[in-house]
Amino acid sequence: MIMIKKYALNKIAVATLCLILLGMFYFIPTSANIETNVEENKNKTKENVVYLLDEDNYVSRVTTFYDEKDITEDIKKKLDILINGNEDINEFYPLIPKTTKINSVKVDKDSVYIDFNKDILKVNKYLEESMIESIVYTLTEINGIEKIYITIDQEKLTKLPNSNKGLPYPLTRNIGINKEYNITSFDNIDKTTVFFLKENNDESYFVPVTKISNVEAEKIDIIIEELKSSVNAQNNLNGYITDNVELVSFNKTDDKMDLVFNSYIFTDNKILESVEYVISKSIFENYDVNEVTFSSEDKENIDTIKKGDNMNLNSISNNEIINNKNSKNNQNNKQEENNNITPENTEENNTTNEDTITNKYNY
C-alpha cells in the first residue's frame, strides 16, 4: 500500500514538472525572439509629410521619416519642420519665421488648435498666404484631421498680418494651395486641385496647384486637361500626360472611380507610374473615393491605386522621367511657336518673380 502511494506521488510530481517546463517554453520568449522584437521597435518609423517651399516658390509636398509617437507629438514634429526645416530635405524652405514658438497644441476629434507666439506675424508679405497653406495642408495629411484653428497668444488669428485678408474658419484644404486664377466673373467659381510632379536632384515630389475658374466642367476633365497642359510644363510642373491622351469615360460608384482612356495612355505597353500617381493623387484630393481603377478601351482593370497606397516616387525610373520630358518638350516647342508674348509682359512677369525670390527668406 505504501509503495502504491509513493508511485502515485512520483507520477504526480513528474506530471507537474512537465507542465511547468511546457509553460516556460511557450509563454517565456527565447532570447532570439527578444532581440527580434527590440530590433523591430527600433526600426518603427513613420512617413512624415510636410509642405515646404521649393526653389520655384511652390508650396511642395515632401517626405521625411521620424519615430512614431502619439498624434500631438506628431503635430509638434511637423510644425518644428515648418519652422526650422530639416537636414534631410534642405533643398526646401520652411515658411514660418524661425523665431516662432509653439505655445500649445490641442487635438479634439477632427480638429487641431495651435497657439503660436507673435513672431509668426513677422512672416514675409509675399509668403503669408503660402505659410497658412503650408500649415493646413501639412496637418491635414494626418489621418482623421480635417480642421485647423490658429491663435496668437490665445487670440484668434482672423486675418493675414500684412494684407489683412480674412481667414475662413475652420481652416481646411478647401482654402486651396499655390492658387492660380482664371475667372471672368464672380459667378459659378469652382476650385480643382491638381497634383503635378517636379524633380530636384533626381528626387521627385508632388506640387499641388489649385485652379480657380468659372469653367463649368467635371473636375476629372479639368484634372486631365491640366496635366496635359504644356503651359504647366513650362512652369516645371510635370503632368506626364501627352496631348493625344483622351479620357474616354469615367464612372464614380461609392468610394471608387473607374477611368477608361484611349490607347495613348500606354507607354511601351504599360501605364507609367508617374501618370498613375498624378491622376490618382488629384482624384483623391477632389473626390470622396478611396480607389482609382485604370482601363483602356481594349483592356479592363489594368491597374488600381488605393488611397492608402504608398506612392513611392523614388521608384519612378530615370528613363521614365527622360521619356516624359522629351515628349512634353516637343509639345512645348510647338506651343512657344504659337504664343505671342509681348516684351512688356515678359519684363513685368520677370520683375514680379524676382521681387518674390529676393524677399523669400527675409524675416
Residues constituting the chain: 363
Cell numbers given for 232: 504647366
Q: Can you give the pTM of this predicted structure?
A: 0.77
C-alpha to C-alpha distance for 69 and 216, rounded to whole angstroms: 44
pLDDT tens string, the chain, 363 residues long: the values are 444 444 444 545 545 555 555 555 444 444 343 333 333 333 456 778 999 999 999 999 999 876 767 899 999 999 999 999 998 888 999 999 999 999 999 999 999 999 999 999 999 999 999 999 999 999 999 999 999 999 999 999 999 999 999 999 999 999 999 999 999 988 899 999 999 999 988 889 999 999 999 988 999 999 999 999 988 888 899 999 999 999 999 999 989 999 999 999 999 889 999 999 999 999 999 999 999 999 999 999 999 999 988 887 766 655 555 555 555 455 445 444 444 444 444 334 433 333 433 333 333
Burial (Cβ within 10 Å: 0-12, 13-18, ≥19) of residue 94: buried
**Whether the Cβ atoms of residue 111 and residue 171 lie closer than 8 Å to each other:** no
C-alpha to C-alpha distance for 161 and 84, rounded to whole angstroms: 21
* Nearest CA-CA partner of 107 in 142, 61, 152, 83: 142
Beta-bridge partner residues of 61: 51, 206
For residue 212, give every residue at least 6 positions away whose Cβ sits within 8 Å of its Cβ, in sequence order, or none.
176, 179, 180, 181, 182, 183, 189, 190, 191
Ranges of beta strands (E only) in the chain are 45-53, 59-67, 102-108, 111-116, 147-152, 155-156, 180-182, 190-200, 203-213, 247-253, 256-261, 291-296, 303-306
330-339: long-range pairs with CB below 8 Å, 24+ = 331/230, 331/233, 331/242, 331/243, 332/230, 332/233, 332/234, 334/230, 335/230, 335/231, 335/234
* Nearest CA-CA partner of 227 in 263, 191, 181, 194: 194
C-alpha to C-alpha distance for 128 and 327, rounded to whole angstroms: 36
For residue 233, give every residue at least 6 positions away whose Cβ sits within 8 Å of its Cβ, in sequence order, or none.
239, 328, 331, 332
Res 157: pLDDT: 98
What are the strands of the beta sheet with 303-306, ordered from one edge?
A: 247-253, 256-261, 291-296, 303-306
> 94: cis peptide before it, omega within 30°?
no
For residue 267, give every residue at least 6 positions away whose Cβ sits within 8 Å of its Cβ, in sequence order, or none.
275, 320, 323
